[in-house]
Amino acid sequence: MTAPEATSTTEKSPAPTWRESLAVYLQPRVLIVLMLGFSSGLPLALSGSTLLVWMRESGVDLGTIGLFALVGTPYTLKFIWAPLVDALHVPLFTRAFGRRRGWLVFSQLLLIGAILLLALTDPARSPLFVALGALLVAAMSSTQDIVVDAFRVESLPESEQAAGMASYVAAYRIGMLISTAGVLFLVSAFESTGIGRHAAWMWGYVAMAALVLIGTITALLATEPEQSVRAEAATRDEDAFTRVAHAAVGAFSEFLARKYAWVALAFVVLFKFTDAFSGTMTAPFVIDLGFTRNDYAAIVKGVGLIATLVGGFAGGYLARRYSLVASLWIGGVLQALSNLVFAWLAYVGVNQWALAAAISAENFTGAIGTVIFVAYLSALCQNPLHTATQYALLTALAAVGRTYLSSGAGYVAETTGWPLFFMISVLVAVPSLILLAWLQRRGHFEIVGPVKV
C-alpha cells in the first residue's frame, strides 16, 4: 500500500518539511515495523552471502557456491503455505497473541532453532548437510516474512506507509549487514582468542540466532492490526478448510482478474534481478580480489551501513514525493548502473577506497530500489482477508530472480572473468525496464491504488 500521491502518474505532493517527516518516522506503528524489518533482514544472509564466505574459506569451488542460491527456494514457494498463515490458528499462540502476532512469535522461535542447526554443520566435510540446514533457515525465514509483510501492510495507515516502507527496508538491510559484516567480525574476534575457524563460525551463527529475539520481543510489544481483527471476526464461523480455500483462491483469482496481470507478474520477477545476479557473487569476488575478511566486513558495516540508511530514506522520499512509476524508473536504473562500480573495482584491484565506493553504491542504490519495489508490491495487495497470501505470491515471484535466474552466476563469472561479469549484470536489467515502459504506456500504474478495507 502506498500513499495516494505515490500511485498517481500525474500528480505530485508538496515536499514534506523535515519536522513532518521526522514526526512520521517516530510514530509507534512505524517503529514497530522498523524493528520487524530488522528481524526479517537478519536471516537472509545467513543462508546466502555469509554462508558463501564460510564455504569459500572452507575450500568449496565457485560452481558449487553458485548453486547454493537454490537453497532460497522457500522464498519462491512461500505463497503455497501463505494461505495457512492467513487462515489457520497456531495452537496457544493465536489465542495468546492474536492472528498475526501469534504466527510472528511461532515462526521466530522456529527460525532460531533452524539457525542453531545450521551452526552445527561443516561446509568442508558435508556441503549436503549445510544445504539442508540453509534450506531450513530459508523456510523459517520466509514464513516469518509472510507474517511481517501482512502485519506491515495491515497496520500502517496511508499517511504512514511511505515512512513505514523506508524504515522497514532500511532496517531490513541493516539486519542483512549485521548478519554479513557482523558475523565476519565475530568470527575474526573468536579466532583471535585461539578458537578454531569452524568453531568461530559456529559461535557467530549462534549469536545471530540470539538476535532473532529482537523480533520476538517486538511482536510481544506490538498490538494486533485492526484490519486483521476485523478479518478474523468476519471468518470466525467458517471451518479451517473453508478459510484456507478462501484465502488461497481469493488471493489468486482477484489478482489474475486484473488487467495486464501477467505482464505485471513478469515485471515483479525481473525488477530486482540485476541486483540479485551481481549480489550473489559480490562476497566471493571481494575475497578473490585479495581483500581480507576484515577489510570487507569493516567497509560493509561502516560505509555500507551509512549508504543503506541514506538510500532507504531516499527511497521513502521518492515514494512520497513522486509518482510510483517515476520512482520505479529511478530505482531500476540506479540499481543496474551500480554494478559498473564493481567492474571498475575489478580493474583497480585491492584498494580500500575503491571497495568502499563500490559497496556504498551497491547499498545506496539497492536500498532505493527495494523501497520503491516494496511500495509497488504493497499497492497490489488490496484485501486484508488474504494480504499474507497475495504479498507472499508477489515476493515469491520476486525471489525467482535471486534464487533460480541467479543460480548460474558463478559459472558466468568463471567463464567471463569479474569485469565482464559485472557488465553483464547491468544488461540483465534491460528486460525489466522494457516491461516497465510497456506497463506505463498502458496506464497500469494509474489503476494501482491503496489497500481497500
Please, what is the angle between helix 240-256 and helix 387-400, to 10°?
60
> How is the chain split into domains, by residue range?
4-445
Q: Are 358 and 291 in contact (CB under 8 A)?
A: no
pLDDT over 70 percentage in the chain: 87
Q: What is the dihedral of CA 222, 226, 228, 234, to 10 degrees?
A: 150
Q: What is the DSSP letter of 179?
A: I
pLDDT over 90 percentage in the chain: 20
Question: 123-157, pLDDT tens digit by residue?
Answer: 877 778 888 889 999 999 999 999 998 888 888 77
Q: Where are the beta strands (DSSP E) in 184-315?
A: none
All three cell numbers of 176? 542483512
Across the chain, mean pLDDT equals: 81
Question: 263-294, pLDDT tens digit by residue?
Answer: 998 999 899 888 888 877 887 888 888 887 67
Question: 190-248, pLDDT tens digit by residue?
Answer: 988 888 888 899 999 999 999 999 999 999 998 888 877 777 776 666 777 777 777 77
> What mean pLDDT do residues 390-411 have?
77
Give the pLDDT score at 10. 39
CATH number for region 4-445: 1.20.1250.20
pLDDT at 451 over 60: no
How buried is residue 431: exposed, middle or buried, by Cβ count under 10 Å (0-12/13-18/19+)? middle
As a whole number of angstroms, the distance between CA 372 and CA 329 comes to 9
Q: Are 378 and 165 in contact (CB under 8 A)?
A: yes
> What mean pLDDT do residues 42-58 have?
85
pLDDT category of residue 363 using cuts at 50, 70 and 90? confident
pLDDT at 374 over 90: no
> What mean pLDDT do residues 324-335 have?
91
- The amino acid at residue 33 is V
pLDDT category of residue 184 using cuts at 50, 70 and 90? confident
pLDDT category of residue 57 using cuts at 50, 70 and 90? confident
Decide which of 339 and 244 is more confident. Answer: 339
Decide which of 2 and 389 is more confident. Answer: 389
Place of cell 571498475: 344
Give the pLDDT score at 117. 93
Using only C-alpha atoms, the chain has a radius of gyration, in whole angstroms, of: 21
All three cell numbers of 291? 581483500
Q: What is the DSSP letter of 69?
A: G
Residues sharing a CB contact under 8 Å with residue 258, sequence separation 6 or more, in sequence order: 264, 447
